[in-house]
Structure 1
Amino acid sequence: MSADLRTLLATQGLRLRPAISLSSDQLARPLLWAHNSDLADPTPWLEPDGLLLTDGLQFAGPAPAEAQPYVERLVDCGVAALGFATQIVHDSIPPALIDACAEHRLPLIEVADRTPFMAIIRLVSDATDRDQREQLERSLRAQRSVARAALRPDGLAAILRELERNLGCWVALFDAAGDRLAFPAQLQVPATIDERVSAAVRRTLSKGRAAAARITIEDTEITIQTVGHHGSVRGALVVGTGAELDRAGVDLVESVIALASIALEQSRALDTARRTLRSGILELLLAGAIDVARSSVRPLWGELPAEPIRVARVSTGGQDAVGDPSGDALLATLELAAERNPGRLFFGERDGRTLVVCHADDTRWIEQLLSGHQAHSGFSAPAEWSRFSDALGEASLALRRSSAFHPAVRFDQLVDEGLLGMLEQSGARAVANRLLEPLDRHPDGAESIRESLVVWLSHNGAWDPSARALGVHRHTLRNRVDLASALLGLDLDAFAARAEVWNALQLTAPARE
């Protein structure tokens, strides 16, 4: 291990003694270097965590350095301790330097009896070299143990156990959906920080790309690193330690991530085959070969969802699922959900979109699962398997109606809203306002004209009932309708024109605001 002040003071041949009171933390602080300098400001050439040695020449002569600024500069630079040689330039340590070191809590050591600085420098240097050599040897042993673990039948779990053993810390592995994967471990994530760790992992995975994060929760240093390559994140490795990892620890974690990525990537060919097979099953379903599809799915994924079913067509990130990183992450999540909930959902890819089939009662659960990937989805109305093709058409219509405000749309909701509801949500109100704009510009005002048109059209163009409902003469009503026809440039004697104006009036009615 590295040298520290306790080791130096205990080395009899060096004849060192503290000039001020030292705490246990100061005595135990590792020293990474030792060097001598009599400059009034040596800090431009110094690094933190070292022992600076001086014979005090800078504090002698006609213009001696001031102790306070000198010590302040050393402390700001991160110097761990100051060694002052006596009986060379000074018989004793200048009192001002002792006071400054005590005030700024900079350990001050007296180097007495003409002890050679080189002896101190060599001792610190040798200890640092030994420490680095031991770290390298430990790192190599750890790397070898992890490499051997990768060859075991349970390679991934064995790798993680070796990482845990070598670092003496807890290790957790999460899948692409942010759920922790179980493996035999000696240490578990502390219950007090479990949920916060999971939330941090989900935030890291939500980026959909290779990423790393280091956070501190309740004095625990936590390293989060995604597993997999860019565009195909397979999960995340989390390591929790009592202190920040040293270089050897970081190297070991990186090696484990690389091996874990290889182990997970080896399944990509199988994943591709599964995706192709799922797409083939969808074609069977669309062709009406339900029994053939059931018999093909059963030995691989279990039963298809029970009737009534809903078919969902899904879009991620405004792009196709195939080749889109967010789409790949969604497919990985759906795969996990299907494994954990056999018989509740089936999914596949067709025409560049992901299709999901679930029991009608599971619709909300699937919507929540999709929302975690910022996906837009359109769901069919409940249907039987024999109507799979029709249900897919309904899902496609519903998907086109989705938006940032309504990412999940059900076809049966569109039916309940009627055609006007569909028109309104598709932006038709702006078109209706533009159509009726000439009425609003008329100097007589649009209110009486609009009201007259609504009443007249609701009475199927009958003049007398409409006039009575408005409380006006039938000729007054006719004049208003003729004026509206002229302003709008429409022949309101024609059914098509009447229907267009009626829809526009309904879409812009105050009750719809």
Structure 2
Amino acid sequence: MRLVDLLGDEVLGLRLVGEVPSDRLERSVTGCSQSELMDPSPYLVRGELVLTLGMGMNVRDVRTWDAYVERVVGAGASALGFGLGPVHAVIPEGLAVACSHYDLPLIELPPEFPLIKLSRHVWQELAAERYEIARRGWELADDCIHEATEGAPLTQLLRRLSDTVGGRVQLLDPAGFEIGAAGEAQQQPARTTRARLRLPGGEHQHFQLAVEARDETMLLQPLLGPALAVVAMQLSYTLTARSPMHSQSAGVFFQALLDPRSDTEHQRAAAVSTGFAVEAPWDAVTVRRPDEVSLATLRLLTWRLRVLLEREYARVRFYDEADRATLLMQGRRSDRPLGAVLAEVVDAETGLDVRHNRALMFDEIAVALQVCRRAPLQAGVAPAPVVDLLSLLGGLPRAGVGMLARRALEPLADAEPVLRETLEAYLETSGSTRAVCERLFIHRNTLSYRMRRIESLLGVDLEDGEVRAVLLLAFRLQAAA
């Protein structure tokens, strides 16, 4: 209910005394309070209509009226209603001057008009409005339920809430980080309603909806409360369901990128369809979770990173899996180190492993991601392992390559341990007799004897460079397995 509605009600017969800015009459009335105190401010609520008969206010000093109005305005009153009757036959001039000075609407009640009558009217109108708001709130919840059952993403529900309040809504995680938003900020912040509404459910993970509404007196809790339960359920499903969060086009691209059977042309076409420029530099982030960390924790951090990186890059795409997530970015907007950007939202205490690469070329991406995916888990933010031939060994499947390495060196398993030690030293020193003897503290003849036994057991010719390369690789793979 607005002041202009009260003044326009012919049955009430109220009259505005003097002139006030038109926007003051558009303000909503949140309640009605009757008081004959010279300082009613401790008992007033912002937006209330204050009613008085002016009892005990037979004063001529303008300063007294000025102080009275100043206190009423300071308490946030929407207007002052003054009843005429035995106490005051007309509006005191000092009161009218003070109200005009503070732009407080001064409403004259007809002679002998019971204040309780106007108070009841205001409260009845407010009750009707609250009922209407509650009805709209349940209708909004029904709409959200329908959209959620149709598979609408969480962002679509936020847009629905934003349209309802005519402002901006932000979904905040327990750390206060924005993980979703819709709507534009209001142009006149002083005329808006701001509130943080807690989403129902969860004993420890308290998500909130920050709302900035167009109306400074909009009742947000009854309007949005029922819909918040739907948002909470959709959020819970998003964070815990086995279904992926990534888009279909992003999924096709990442699967092509990580499939060793996929050809380069198919990978490039998938990258272009996802919105990337193939020849431009790429940055990458991989997030992995150990078994003891929940899927919800992984997805929440992935969500945070996506929102954060979308501020830093022109294009961000991600691929969601049960135990990891991968993000690829292009079009960096700042020169801040990527590790420092990630550290803003990554808490090492969660146990998640976050690795990052900078300035990759397209042909390097698949290799770089495979190396990150197979590197040892390390909680916190860290640069990805350097992509070179040695790092590729650590990126290969450990169980399979370990078996191949053991098979290549198996004939030495039952022989004297010194033979394995001798062969490894021989390979690492490129077959230098002197270097091997100095390293193992043995004579040249002893080395020759051992090398003949090794060749016999393995059935190889160690003069062959390819044989030496294969055996050295077997030692490295066993060490990495």
* TM-score (normalizing by structure 1): 0.47
Looking at CA atoms only, which structure, 1 or 2, has the larger radius of gyration? Answer: 1
* TM-score (normalizing by structure 2): 0.50
